[in-house]
Amino acid sequence: MKIETHKQENSILELTVEVDEERVQPALRAAARQLAKRYPVPGFRPGKAPYDVILRQFGEGALYEAAVEDLGQKVYAEALEQEKIDAYGPGALEDVQLKPMVLKFSVPLRPEVELGDYRALQLPYTPPEIKDEQVNEALEHLREHQAVMEPVDRPAELTDVAVLDVKGYLNTGENPSDFLLADQDISLLLDEKTDWPVPGFAPFIVGLKAGEEKKFDLTFPDDYANESLRGQTAHFEVTVKEVKQRTLPEWNDELAKTIGDYQTLDEMRARVREDLANQAERTVEQEYNAQIMDRLLEQAHIRYPLVLLEKEVDDLLEDLDRRLHEQRLTLDDYLKIEGKTKEALREEYKPRAEERLKRALILGKVVELEQLDVSDTDVDDQIEKLSTPFGEQAGRIRELFGTKDARRTLGVDLLTQKALKRLSAIARGEQVPLPGAAEAQPEARHLPAGQAGRASPGVIEGQAEAESAPAAEASAQ
């Protein structure tokens, strides 16, 4: 075979292969036999017609097309091996010349990531501080769940709970299209902080007794979460069905025992403070990691085949489809509601997909440069950590995570977390040993070929954007 290669800018290799005629002719005859079996030639048993007859019956183009379908895959694999080309994914047959047979393939190459001097990156880190006011607020929230509610025959007051039937309309409600909501038996805490269905609604209920009705208008604030409702006036019709007085229990050790696994009120306060501190630390870590990734994105030079970006868009749309199914909708339903085509939606998702992909590739490069590993024991420990909270179902969860694919996913997740922690330590100015300086652990192993080179976006978004899920396909196929 004669082979020519030309590397293009977007991490694609143009691979041109001229196939020897000695291979083409047998491939044509094999294709002819297969065609004759599928589409019998009159006067001959299936697959037994002479080559010349089959050629006249189907035409030279059909034979070449069938031959290329089979021969192309073999030629492609042999060319990769002969030229020692490290393809990062499936190639594509872009063009075919018949005589002589010349096949042109596009081959996606491994992404190229240059991080610059990432070990010189320094960012200030401020540990979170939990104040007494935050602890008191959290404790008060827990106490409110223990409130005793009793029906009262009097006008509603602030801190009461009112059971309501509510109808809401935009503007005057004269047109069916203005309909906003209709809810029955809604238990609403009459508090100035209550913002359902719109800030300022609850005070209008104060002073009403069970059985009374009220109509009033409210305007949605300019910073309302739903942008389409900002500044619009809503008309509400409310019927009070019941008024309940809330009585909060006194703070004491017995209340602490009722709320949770605590022996004393002091123990409960200490545990709540610890939980708040852990939550705040996770939030600060996510924000800090996001800053690190932003800085690395600014200084990194990244080249990758476009097929990776398309795959990232596919993943995002699959996530959207899953969320829609939870709401009993389909992607087609969503497109109709939004008035978009699938192609337009893909274009809309590309910027986010590109950022996810670049963050993943950066972390994969960090895994490679820092020589980070995940051991089988690490994965086992993670499975145990994830399954234990399920109690009696823990065994079933262990089975689910015990498959080869699930263990690989968990390993990738842990590897990405290691990369993020390593970058965080470097940015804080901690003494981080250079790659290879520490003794290798006997159980440590690299991920299988193809699992190193890009991190899984889930964990990255969970760390950098406080979103969710697992992580890192890191460094070499």
Render pLDDT for 40-94 as a digit per residue (tens, 0 to 9).
Answer: 788 787 767 888 888 888 888 888 888 898 888 899 999 999 999 989 888 899 9
pLDDT at position 40, please?
79
May I ask the CATH architecture of the domain 148-247? Roll (3.10)
pLDDT at position 471, please?
36
pLDDT at position 465, please?
39
pLDDT at position 437, please?
59
Left (φ > 0), alpha (ψ -120 to 50) or beta: where does 161 sit? beta
Is the domain 2-109 a CATH 3.30.70.1050 member?
A: yes
pLDDT value at 301 more than 80: yes
Are residues 146 and 257 in contact, defined by beta-carbon separation less than 8 angstroms?
A: no
34 against 249, higher pLDDT: 249
- Model confidence over 185-240: pLDDT tens digits? 999 999 888 999 999 999 999 999 999 999 999 999 999 888 888 888 999 999 99
pLDDT value at 316 more than 50: yes
Percent of the chain with pLDDT over 90: 64
pLDDT at position 365, please?
95
Q: Which two tokens stand for residue 216?
A: 């009033």
Q: Which two tokens stand for residue 276?
A: 């708040």
In the chain, list all ranges with CATH 1.10.3120.10.
Answer: 273-474
pLDDT at position 472, please?
40
Q: Strands, E, within 309-420: which ranges?
A: 374-375
In our burial notation (b when 16+ CB lie closer than 10 A, e otherwise), range 286-299 reads bebbbebbebbeee
CA–CA gap between residue 264 and residue 267 (Å, rounded)? 5
pLDDT at position 469, please?
34
Per-residue pLDDT, averaged over 284-300, amounts to: 95
pLDDT at position 176, please?
52
In the chain, list all ranges with CATH 3.30.70.1050.
Answer: 2-109
Beta bridge partners of 13: 7, 107
Nearest-10 crossing angle of helices 404-427, 376-387: 100
472 against 266, higher pLDDT: 266
DSSP letter at 111 equals P
May I ask the CATH architecture of the domain 273-474? Orthogonal Bundle (1.10)
Q: Which two tokens stand for residue 460?
A: 């990255």
- In the chain, count H helices and then E strands: 13, 15
pLDDT at position 463, please?
46
Mention every residue, 6+ apart, whose C-beta is less than 8 A from residue 371: 435, 436
Helix (H, G, I), strand (E, B) or coil at 247: strand
pLDDT value at 475 more than 50: no
pLDDT at position 44, please?
82
pLDDT at position 451, please?
40
**Mean pLDDT for the chain?**
87
* Per-residue pLDDT band at 456 (split at 50, 70, 90): low
DSSP letter at 338 equals H
CB 17: neighbour CB atoms within 10 A?
21
DSSP letter at 41 equals P
Are residues 163 and 242 in contact, defined by beta-carbon separation less than 8 angstroms?
A: yes
CA angle at 419 for the pair 414 and 423, rounded to the nearest 5°: 145
In the chain, list all ranges with CATH 3.10.50.40.
Answer: 148-247
Beta bridge partners of 207: none
Q: 20-25 long-range contacts, Cβ below 8 Å, gap at least 24?
A: 21/100, 21/101, 23/71, 24/67, 24/71, 24/100, 24/101
DSSP letter at 178 equals G
CA–CA gap between residue 415 and residue 446 (Å, rounded)? 10
17 against 172, higher pLDDT: 17
pLDDT value at 159 more than 50: yes
* Per-residue pLDDT band at 241 (split at 50, 70, 90): very high
Give the predicted TM-score (pTM) of the model.
0.71
pLDDT value at 445 more than 70: no
- Model confidence over 336-377: pLDDT tens digits? 988 999 999 999 999 999 999 999 999 999 999 999 999 999
* Per-residue pLDDT band at 462 (split at 50, 70, 90): very low
Instruction: Count Cβ atoms within 10 A of the Cβ of residue 107 and give its class: 0-12 exposed, 13-18 middle, 19 or more buried.
Output: buried
Between the alpha carbon of residue 38 and those of residues 48, 53, 61, 65, the distances in Å are 12, 15, 17, 15
Per-residue pLDDT, averaged over 174-186, amounts to: 77
172 against 267, higher pLDDT: 267
Percent of the chain with pLDDT over 70: 90
pLDDT at position 345, please?
95
pLDDT at position 441, please?
41
Are residues 100 and 18 in contact, defined by beta-carbon separation less than 8 angstroms?
A: yes
What single string gives the DSSP state of each residue in 44-98? S-TT-S-HHHHHHHH-HHHHHHHHHHHHHHHHHHHHHHHHT--BSS--EEEEEET
Instruction: Count Cβ atoms within 10 A of the Cβ of residue 276 and give its class: 0-12 exposed, 13-18 middle, 19 or more buried.
Output: middle
Q: How many CA atoms lie within 13 A of 257 on its CB side?
A: 5
pLDDT at position 48, please?
76
pLDDT at position 49, please?
81
